Structure 1
Amino acid sequence: MTQITRHHTGPRMSQIVEHGQTIYLAGQVGDPGEDVASQTKTCLEKVDALLAEVGSDKTHLLQVTIWLADMADFPAMNAVWDAWVAQGHTPARACGEAKLATPDYLVEFLVTAAKA
């Protein structure tokens, strides 16, 4: 049976779940009140830190789902994403509009990656 390991586990969720060679991250959000570019940068910094914690990195991304509170922010989010994502290692990706946990959150990243 494949082992499941959970990190930063709370009553509602874990920030990282490892199953076999796959890493699942909880949705990552930025700092409330900042613009979408700043929130995106913060989200991606959190993704980098969480993946590093379990011995992986952005070159091992498998799939990323991005939720924007307003699709009008798509170009600003993509500008930060394009500067961050490792070319030649881009994941399968989807982006949609959704009402997030609070109106102060403008973007949320849901990440699945492979172990390095």
Structure 2
Amino acid sequence: MSIRRIEPGRRMSAAVVHGNTVYLAGQVGNPGEDVSKQTETVLAEIDRLLAEAGSDKSKILQATIWLADMKDFAAMNAVWDAWVDPANPPARATGESALAAPEYRVEIIVVAAI
């Protein structure tokens, strides 16, 4: 079975396609923006990478969301709820974690079918 790497870099690829599954690296927004704007940016990037892989948000199997602070849970969810395909919501987990830089408020990782 082939493996296709999308936007490979020295440390990681933005996405990896193996068989009929695409694995996205964690996506973050623009440092310094609030969690709502960062979530919008992340979801737009997820849309772009899924399209590049031949998929879309209706085929997301699993999402893992990391928030720098759980106080942002409701604001992130407001953006997520407006974006997610209501007929095909993925399995999802959300937790709090220190992210790569203190300016990041949210990071989202998804796995999707093709």
TM superposition score category, shorter chain reference: over 0.9
Secondary structure of the corresponding residue to residue 53 of structure 1: helix
**Structure 2 partner of 1:112:** 111
What amino acid is the match of 1:5? Answer: R
2:54 & 2:112 partners in 1: Cα distance?
A: 11
Displacement of 1:80 in angstroms is 0.1
**Structure 1 partner of 2:42:** 43
2:90 & 2:53 partners in 1: Cα distance?
A: 19
The aligned length equals 114
Write out per-residue CA displacement over residues 30-57 of structure 1, whole angstroms, 9 at most, x where no aligned residue: 0000000000000000000000111110
1:112 & 1:96 partners in 2: Cα distance?
A: 17
**Structure 1 partner of 2:29:** 30
What amino acid is the match of 1:40? Answer: T
Structure 1 vs Structure 2 CA RMSD:
0.5
Write out per-residue CA displacement over residues 6-42 of structure 1, whole angstroms, 9 at most, x where no aligned residue: 1111110000100100000010000000000000000
Write out per-residue CA displacement over residues 51-93 of structure 1, whole angstroms, 9 at most, x where no aligned residue: 0111110000000000000000000000000000000100000
Unaligned runs of 5+ in 1: none
1:46 & 1:7 partners in 2: Cα distance?
A: 13
2:52 & 2:15 partners in 1: Cα distance?
A: 9
1:3 & 1:52 partners in 2: Cα distance?
A: 19
**Structure 2 partner of 1:94:** 93
2:71 & 2:92 partners in 1: Cα distance?
A: 18
What amino acid is the match of 1:69? Answer: A
Unaligned runs of 5+ in 2: none
Displacement of 1:94 in angstroms is 0.1
**Structure 1 partner of 2:7:** 8
1:29 & 1:63 partners in 2: Cα distance?
A: 17
Moved over 4 A (4+): none
**Structure 2 partner of 1:18:** 17
